[in-house]
Amino acid sequence: MMDIRAMITENTIEFDADLKTREEVLEHISEILVKNNRANNKEVIFNGFLQREKEGTTGIGLQLAIPHCKEEDILEPTIVYITLKNPIDWDSLDEKPVKVVIGLAIPKKYEGTLHLEILSALASNLMEDDFKDKLFKINNKEELINFLYKNL
């Protein structure tokens, strides 16, 4: 069972981030992880995210990207939620720019289980317009944590 409240905290949520490229976003996520003692090595994590993007875009469409990284240097499963001040190109499947990024950082030991559970929960919920609309409108950290807790 995933514990959403342990994975996402007010420190791993950022609204209106002024980032211009996919690389800047991935680097920013890596910084947030290290700053909050959720990961050890920013470079390793950043490269993990980049490597995953090379395998195929995590821009799933609907103006949303779900980059994910599984590394030994990740200390605990973490969700980083970022809304962008200006939409950016992410090479998304629907070719639309991305406004919301949900970064998943998973310790290597949970590879193949936990991140798939989270991705699957997100994917099925995102099929519901209601879920996506609410997710995109929330601009309060506590409200966002409660919303994800109830819905994932």
Domain ranges (residues) in the chain: 4-146
Q: CA of 32: how far to CAs of 17, 35, 48, 120, in Å?
A: 12, 5, 15, 24
In this model, does residue 52 exceed pLDDT 90? yes
For 19-28, what is each residue's pLDDT tens digit? 999 999 999 9
Q: Which of 118, 90, 79, 70 is nearest to 24 (CA)?
A: 90
User: What pTM, to 2 d.p., does this model score?
Assistant: 0.95
- pLDDT mean over 7-15: 97
Dihedral (CA of 146, 115, 110, 30) sign? negative
How confident is residue 1, by pLDDT bands cut at 50, 70 and 90? low
Catalytic residue among 68, 70, 99, 115: 68
Question: Cα separation of 113 and 26, whole Å?
Answer: 22
Is residue 68 annotated as a catalytic residue, yes or no? yes
Q: What is the CATH number of domain 4-146?
A: 3.40.930.10
Question: Cα separation of 117 and 114, whole Å?
Answer: 5
